[in-house]
Amino acid sequence: MSKEMMKKTVTINAPRDKVWDVLLRDEFTRVWYAEFSEGSHAEGDWNVGGRIAFVDGSGMGLVGKLVAKKPPELLSIEHQAVIMNGKEDQSSPEAMKWLGCKENYTLSQEDGKTTLTIEQELPEEYLDSIPKSWDKAVRKIKELSESTM
């Protein structure tokens, strides 16, 4: 199954710590995750090795393992399963497409501004839809980070 790396970069008029909060705090993630699917939120452990489920309001989503966390500069997730109708699935054809896909968030700061780079490995069939959702999500991350100062 072919996978491709999608990359989005944005400069945000806010310090890196603020952007980091927007990336991880539930009150903010629920706002920008909604750009992918209404009601989306994260459940789990944001510590290295921890399991995180990204679930939407209809019980669909992805399960990942946090493989790296260096606040406030790096967050890396490796997808390990899908959630279909509220149940975790690691062996269906759909789950196999996502197995091992990486999702990385890198933050650098210069002159009080943060450059956020998001890279996500995607199954080929999602290359048209998910990057469009990321465009909207990145705008929300920027807006939330700049307005919470």
Q: Bridge-partner residues for 4, per DSSP? A: 122
Average pLDDT value for residue range 75-89? 96
CATH assignment at residue 17: 3.30.530.20
Residue 149: its pLDDT value, please?
A: 52
Q: Residue 77: pLDDT above 80?
A: yes
Residue 85 backbone class (left: φ over 0; alpha: ψ -120 to 50; beta: rest): left
* pLDDT tens-digit map of 95-106: 999 999 999 999
Record the pTM. Answer: 0.95
Q: Residue 75: pLDDT above 70?
A: yes
* pLDDT tens-digit map of 17-69: 999 999 999 999 999 999 999 999 999 989 999 999 999 999 999 999 999 99
Q: Do 127 and 4 form a contact (C-beta atoms < 8 A)? A: yes
Residue 71: its pLDDT value, please?
A: 98
120: confidence class by pLDDT, cuts 50, 70, 90: very high
| Alpha-carbon torsion angle 69, 51, 31, 10, nearest 10 | 30
Residue 2: its pLDDT value, please?
A: 85
Residue 148: its pLDDT value, please?
A: 63
Read off the tokens for 54: 């990204």
Q: Do 123 and 1 form a contact (C-beta atoms < 8 A)? A: yes
Q: The domain containing residue 53 runs over which residues?
A: 3-147
Dihedral angle sign, alpha carbons of residues 66, 70, 76, 82: positive
Nearest-CA neighbor of 7 among 131, 133, 140?
Answer: 131
Percentage of the chain lying above the pLDDT 70 cut: 98
Instruction: Name the domain count of the chain.
Output: 1
